[in-house]
Amino acid sequence: MNNDFKYTVKSLKLDENYHPSNSTRITTNFANLARGASRQQNLRNALKMIDSRFNALANWDNPQGNRYSVELEIISVDLEIAGSAEAFPSIEVLKTNIIDHQTNERIEGIVGNNFSSYVRDYDFSVLLLDHNKNKTEFTIPDNFGDLHGKLFKSFINSETYKQHFKKPPVICLSVSDNKTYHRTENQHPILGVEYQPNESSLTEQYFKKMGLQVRYFMPPNTVAPLAFYFFGDLLNDYTNLELISTISTMETFQKIYRPEIYNANAVAGSCYQPNLRNNDHSITQIVYDREERSQLAVAQGKFTEQHFIKPYQSVLEKWSANCTI
């Protein structure tokens, strides 16, 4: 079925000189940081936070706490439907690379981390809202997430993905503020203490259709668990440094984006419910417009509806119905 789609992978370095392109999904954490008068200082501070956190976790043979630094690449994937001769922006993720200043080695990290998708914007910010408009009870549309999940798995199974990346992706997201998480006895030296939710969330169900499992861990010296979405075996398929690169990167973004949870002044206990109205938290010195980000998700969802879903609806429905990935 991959012959129905052509994927193009583009890479752009994310550093203090990064400027979002017009084709970038501008609701991403990193693109939002790179806008406005504080853009360069925002990026510089965020990258410094990532490096500091990485060295704090990778503290063996690292007495000065400065052995490593992390380089980030924005990976953009365009999708072209066979016969259309027009590419549509599909997903954007981050790829980490680790610089070992002691050995002068550049170590490939993990692809995934942040996850942005135009079709996901459409599903959550257009389709789901329209489905529940003027309804007294919230419901989920039939086959919600099916197309997006199959498109994602199609890319992961494609030769294009295999040519660019050695391992499957790991996506790291915030916990849900409407679920309760219970601490378990399981503990990993890097990922930390494992938590389990009281029930499945809509995000979990959506990512399951992408073929991804989820586990929740609170790394050492973190105040709240992170959600790790993955294929295979999270604890054994990736090295310690690879996992640290994801933790340090995404924990930093979550501190900026959701300080009420990830920069809270109290550590999650054995029974933990995240609270986005928590006033007992610290603010980073990084400017981030969360309200604008939400508005842009709606705008980009409508863009997807206009330029991808509606023009190719019959093709996509037929492909999805016949797809067995």
Q: What is the mean pLDDT of residues 208-215?
A: 97
pLDDT at 21: 64
Percent of the chain clearing pLDDT 70 (strictly above): 91
The band of 26, judged by pLDDT with boundaries at 50, 70 and 90, is very low
Q: Cα(62)–Cα(56) distance, rounded to whole angstroms?
A: 9
Residue 25 pLDDT > 50: no
pLDDT of 9-22, one tens digit each? 999 998 888 877 65
More confident residue, 31 or 132: 132
Residue 59 pLDDT > 60: yes
Could you tell me which of 10, 21, 27 has the C-alpha nearest to residue 74? 10
Q: Cα(181)–Cα(20) distance, rounded to whole angstroms?
A: 36
Amino acid 262 reads Y
The band of 286, judged by pLDDT with boundaries at 50, 70 and 90, is confident
pLDDT of 116-173, one tens digit each? 999 999 999 999 999 999 999 999 999 999 999 999 999 999 999 999 999 999 999 9
Q: Which residues contact 172 (CB under 8 A, 6 or more apart)?
A: 112, 113, 114, 226, 227, 228, 229, 246, 247, 249, 250
CB hemisphere CA count around 277 (13 angstroms): 1
Could you tell me which of 148, 153, 68, 56 has the C-alpha nearest to residue 103? 68
pLDDT of 244-283, one tens digit each? 999 999 999 999 989 999 999 999 999 999 999 999 999 8
Residue 77 pLDDT > 90: yes
Could you tell me which of 104, 115, 261, 107 has the C-alpha nearest to residue 195? 261
Q: Which residue has the tokens 């199974």?
A: 157
Residue 202 pLDDT > 70: yes
pLDDT at 29: 53
